[in-house]
Amino acid sequence: MPNVTAIALIPLLPLAGFLLLGLFGRKYLKNSSGIIGTVLLLASTILALYTAYEYFFVYGKVAGVYEKFVPLQLTWLQFSPGVSIDMGLIIDPISVMMLVVVTFISLMVHIYSLGYLKGEERFPTYYSFLGLFTFSMLGLVLASNIFQIYIFWELVGVSSFLLIGYYYDKPSAVAACKKAFIVTRFADLGFLIGILILSFSGGTLDFSTLIERLTSPETNEFKAAAASTFLGASALTWGAALVFVGGAGKSAMFPLHIWLPDAMEGPTPVSALIHAATMVVAGVFLVARLFPIFSVAVPGVLEIIGWVGAISAIVAAIIACTQTDIKRVLAYSTMSQIGYMMFALGVSKYGGESGLGYTASMFHLFTHAMFKALLFLGAGAVIHYVHSNDMKDMGGLRKLLPITHITFLIACLAIAGVPPFAGFFSKEEILLAAYNNNMAIYWIALITSGITAFYMFRLYFNIFWSKELPSYTKATKGKEGGFVMMLPLVLLAIGAAAAGFIPFGEFVSSDGTVLHSHFDLTFSAAPVILGLAGIFTALWLYKKQNDKPAKLATSLGGIYKMAYNKFYIDEIYLFITKNVLFNLIGRPAAWFDKNIVDGLMNLIGNITQSISEGIKKVQSGKVQQYAIYFLGGVIVLAVLFIYIWK
Amino acid sequence: MQPGLYHILFLSAALFFIGVYGFLTRRNLITMLMSIELILNSVNLNFIAFNKYLWPNQMDGLFFTLFIIAIAAAEAAVAIAIIINLYRSHNSIDVENAEDLKY
């Protein structure tokens, strides 16, 4: 049986770190804050690995199926008998898998930050925010009901906001954190409405009960939800679609992705943790958590999810080819890979062999966390050395940063889908799932995987090859980051190289049964060849500094310019908000607020004030005046009693 | 001629209004206190007169009067204490100088 204390401690230890460092860090723990945060997270990671071992190998499997356990269920807010908001822990394959991913990546980032942010003024604040984020993310994956997941969902949003805005004296970082918060909040509005619709029609907030009631057409809840319609779609469809809007906002899906590239203003380890490996996959996790509802009850919404994922994957990949800020390239690559996970869920079905897409999506989430965190931390090591984000300032770094170079190369090979690295296996399964269910998405995914290989190696060659001896080498005789920065790189590189060999389908599948993955050499040929083609194109263009890329850019002309400007999506948003929303809705609303609402309040205030001004004169301080009032009152009462109320 | 009830009621009414007049017109706090005593004594007279003329075999009015005298003594003590304190802080016992006590 699940060990409740161990599981509850996994999120509570980072919370303890947050409270400790947040309250006392700046005064008393200035130098030890990093160590404290890291040690607490190490304990958390060990507990998570222990839980995973116990779940997958000891008690989790009942009659060949991985069961869902709810070891802890507390009633938090009781509104009336039967209606309450609970707090609970859920233990099932995806939550256990996410526990391992989140704690491991977070631990790596904690260790790495010891070196990367050394000497920062707000070091304790940084570690307390990291603790808050880790707590919220772990709470999110362990949430046993849909309202609890919403609470932690907002908490990760807040901690993401705090960490993006860590360099708060930089105007661009401030703008970026506000943008991230507002865009995701906007999407969360959809999520909240979706939660309300789903829980109202399901009559419960609890995941298991909700799924049970909304997936079998015989129940009354399902009939009622399917019967009530709004704008031509059933309540169930609306609820599921709105929940997906929330997920799309958090996971930076097209067209709600605009916050993610700007979020790179935060410290690089934060980007590795939040904007690559953990928080941005929360949307995928949410869809996976409610997957039976999407798959069985509203397949139409699932189809939309598939297309949104596919479009995000290819659009982001094209934009990534033109960016020069290395972190932005990685940001778009993240968006593209999350697109993969999304459409893998979109093309999946529930149960058995047809649930391959679900397994593939979770598998890709797992491997992506490894190699994308590695890419970001590697990029962080480069930025730490060069003190610039722009790839024009880099080149020829392979001799100066040998460990970073090797680990970065492994990560690039993994993301490009070259066997036998991790990305190959997960991407193969996704492509297979798409091939079996939706040919159009399969072709988009195939092309995207070629582009992915191209832009990743464009990045790689631009950083580590290109120029022979960069000009700054002699001026700054810096060393590659110390042991604390290299250790996470090496550990993650091992993960990125070997994670693919985990027989993932045996542990995680849509209905808990074992799913055997089998590889078909003829099927794998196409993506691998495309990936290699992408790599060699990048090699030909960027291995040595030359004018081929510039010529190519001019010959592509408009397309290049559009991709370079991110297809003007930011501008479209600005146009809509500034010209349409502000003028048509904002200004009338402001007028109404200033004149009608404020006017009403001012009127009430003025009336009260003038009345009190009038009454104030009665209290004069003259005792004899009071005596006259008193006498007058007594006389009036006497008249009343004697002549009127006899 | 024996005085009747109406004579005494007339006397006590006159006493009451003299007291009220004194209370409202004097500025000296001691004089105002004396006026209050007049008012109280007019009430006492009423009690005694009603007791004597209407229910001569009962003692209720008498007891009431005794209570009022006792309480008036206590009230005078408190009032004089207040007046002394006022004099210490304001150097005057004029009621118009005590107006600032409302703040």
Q: Is the pLDDT of residue A390 over 90?
A: no
User: End-to-end CA distance of chain A, in Å?
Assistant: 85
Question: Which stretches of chain B sit within 8 Å of chain A by CB?
Answer: 20, 23-24, 32, 95-96, 98-103
What is the maximal distance between C-alpha atoms in chain A? 115
What span, in angstroms and rounded, lies between the C-alpha atoms of A344 and A63?
28
Answer yes or no: is B54 within a domain: yes
Asked whether the beta carbons of residue A620 and residue B101 sit closer than 8 angstroms, the reply is: no
Give the model's confidence band at A474: pLDDT under 50 very low, under 70 low, under 90 confident, else very high.
very low
Q: Which residues of chain B are within 8 Å of residue A624 when distances are taken between CB atoms? A: 23-24, 95
CA distance A617 to chain B (A): 12
**Is B102's CB within 8 Å of A631's CB?**
no
Q: Which of A187, A445, A450 is nearest to A339 (CA)?
A: A445
Check whether A471 has a pLDDT greater than 60. no
Range of the domain at B84: 5-91
Which residues, 6 or more positions from A249, have their beta carbon under 8 angstroms from its beta carbon?
Answer: A183, A184, A186, A187, A188, A190, A191, A256, A283
In this complex, is the C-beta atom of A638 within 8 Å of any C-beta atom belonging to chain B? no
Region at A71 (left for phi over 0; alpha for psi -120 to 50; beta for the rest): alpha
Contact check, Cβ <8 Å, A621/B95: no
pLDDT score at B74:
95
The residue length of chain A stands at 646
For A623, nearest residue in chain B (alpha carbons) = B95
Residues A550-606 pLDDT 10s: 777 777 777 777 777 777 777 888 888 878 888 888 888 889 998 999 999 999 999
Q: Do B99 and A620 touch (CB under 8 A)?
A: yes
| H/E element, A438 | none
- Picking from A26, A284, A18, A38, the residue whose alpha carbon sits closest to that of residue A162 is A18
Q: What is the pLDDT of residue A55?
A: 87
Residue A266 has pLDDT above 80, yes or no: yes
Q: Tell whether B18 is covered by a domain.
A: yes
Residue A63, judged by CB atoms within 10 A of its CB (0-12, 13-18, 19+), counts as exposed
With beta carbons less than 8 A apart as the criterion, state whether A384 and A485 touch.
yes
CATH number of the domain enclosing B44? 1.10.287.3510
* A623, A628, A635, best to mutate vs chain B, most B CBs in 10 Å: A623
Is A622 within 8 Å of B100 when comparing Cβ atoms?
A: no
Candidates A619, A624, A631; nearest CB to B102: A619
Residues of chain B found within 8 Å of residue A631, distances taken between Cβ atoms: 20
**Confidence class of residue A609 from pLDDT cuts 50, 70 and 90?**
very high
pLDDT, chain A, mean: 85
Asked if the structure places residue B103 within a domain, the reply is: no
Nearest to B24 among A620, A621, A627 (CB): A627
Tell me what pLDDT residue A606 has: 95
The complex's ipTM works out to 0.88
- Looking at the partner chain, which of A622, A627, A631 has a beta carbon nearest the beta carbon of B99? A622
Q: What pTM, to 2 d.p., does this model score?
A: 0.78
Query: Is B100 a domain residue?
Result: no
Between A394 and A471, residue with greater pLDDT: A394
Please report which helix (H) or strand (E) contains residue A617, including its range: none
> Mean pLDDT over residues A233-242, rounded?
84
State the total domains in chain B.
Answer: 1
- Asked whether residue B15 is domain-assigned, the answer is yes
Q: Does A627 touch chain B (CB under 8 A)?
A: yes
Q: Looking at per-residue confidence, does A137 or A476 come out higher?
A: A137
> What is the percentage of chain B residues whose pLDDT exceeds 90?
68
Taking the C-alpha atoms of residue A254 and residue A314, their distance in angstroms, rounded to an integer, is 10
Query: Which among A44, A150, A141, A153 is positioned nearest to A91, based on CA atoms?
Result: A141
Query: Which residue among A621, A627, A631 places its CB closest to the CB of B101?
Result: A621
pLDDT at A560: 75
For B32, the closest chain A residue by CA position comes to A624
Has residue B75 been placed in a domain?
yes
A628 inside 8 A of chain B by CB = yes
- Write out the two tokens for A29: 């723990």
pLDDT at A519: 67
Residue A87: phi and psi, rounded to 5, are -125, 125
Test A628 with B23 for CB contact under 8 angstroms: no
Range with the poorest average pLDDT among A15-24, A127-136, A467-476, A558-567: A467-476
Of residues A42 and A235, more confidence is placed in: A42
Q: Which residues of B touch A623 (CB under 8 A)?
A: 32, 95, 98
What is the rounded average pLDDT of the residues A248-259? 86
From the number of C-beta atoms within 10 Å of its C-beta (0-12, 13-18, 19+), residue A337 rates as buried
pLDDT in tens, A83-101: 778 888 888 888 888 999 9
CB pairs under 8 A between A and B: 22
CA-based nearest distance B101→chain A, Å: 7
Test the A interface: residue of B16, B99, B100 with most A CBs within 10 Å: B99
DSSP track, A622-634 = -HHHHHHHHHHHH
**A620 neighbourhood in chain B, CB within 8 Å:** 99, 102
User: In this complex, do B95 and A631 lie within 8 Å of one another by their Cβ atoms?
Assistant: no
CB of A622 within 8 Å of a chain B CB? The answer is: yes
Decide if pLDDT at A501 tops 90.
no
> Quick check: A619 and B100 CB within 8 A?
no
The distance from CA A308 to its chain's CA centroid, rounded to whole angstroms, is 16
CB atoms within 10 A of CB A553: 15
Nearest to A318 by CA among A151, A164, A534: A534
Task: Judge: A622–B95 Cβ closer than 8 Å, yes or no.
Answer: yes
Query: Is residue B97 one of the residues assigned to a domain?
Result: no
Which residues in chain A have Cβ-Cβ distances shorter than 8 Å to B101? 621
Inspect the interface and report whether the beta carbons of B98 and A619 lie closer than 8 Å. no
B90 contacts on A by Cβ (under 8 Å)? none
Q: Is B23 among the domain residues?
A: yes
